[in-house]
Structure 1
Amino acid sequence: ENGYFVRPTILDNVDPRSEIAHTEIFGPVLSLAHVQTIDEAIELVNASPFGNMACLFTSSGAAARKFRYEARAGNIGINIGVAAPMAFFPFSGWKESFFGDMHAQGRDAIEFYTEKKVVVERWPREWSRAF
């Protein structure tokens, strides 16, 4: 009620040289940049100091595959506006968007904090107890 709020905002045709293109915004703000080729899209994403999320809208499966492998971002979306992962996915950006010491969410965090042990046993029948 007494705070500061930003309404959902779409910034269309963001100039890659503008300050907003090089600012990581945490809020209901979506910056859109239009490019002509998949290489331009990847270059635009990889030139940013941030790498939380990148999304591509395309009808080309080849372009989607190239983008997912070459774009330097922790969360990739193909034909989806916000690549919001499921709760059990690790969620953390790359580059300056990385937070913490590791990607410690979901199963990755459980695995990190779990001390695993493998025990292999064989007991002769006469040493076994019946339970």
Structure 2
Amino acid sequence: MFNDHLRHGMVLGTPGCEVVTMWRPPGSVHDHAPLTPPALVRFVGMLGTAVLRAERADRMIGRNLPKGEQQFYLRMAGVRPDRQGRGLGGLAIRAGLSEADAAALPAVLETATESNVGLYRALGFEVIRDWHVARNGPRFWTMTRPVLIK
């Protein structure tokens, strides 16, 4: 996934990888790398039988993102556990939001972590969808942030 983002997206973070965000810029929001046999083998190696659940979640995420390509999509954000709570995640996300603002485009994300909803709201995002992968599957929140005019 990281290599795919290097080719088609934008990776922002700190030099020591304490925090990393992976963004899809306009034109690649709904793109996915093809699931080739070598990629499938790697995913099965990482996820085992959960690979089918992961694939289903990925399809549902795509269905719940706003349609169209004229937006920046925060696909992933992560902070090393020993660096959490220091504002690094917010800094990296704001760097991506600056790119969205410079392009005069909204930003979108989804999270499966309820405690992150407040963090994203503090960054200007609002929930547009609250959904489950399956009847008893994980809960997700799709959020969007409008263009901030400076």
Structure having the higher helix fraction is 2
Q: Between Structure 1 and Structure 2, whose CA radius of gyration is higher?
A: 1
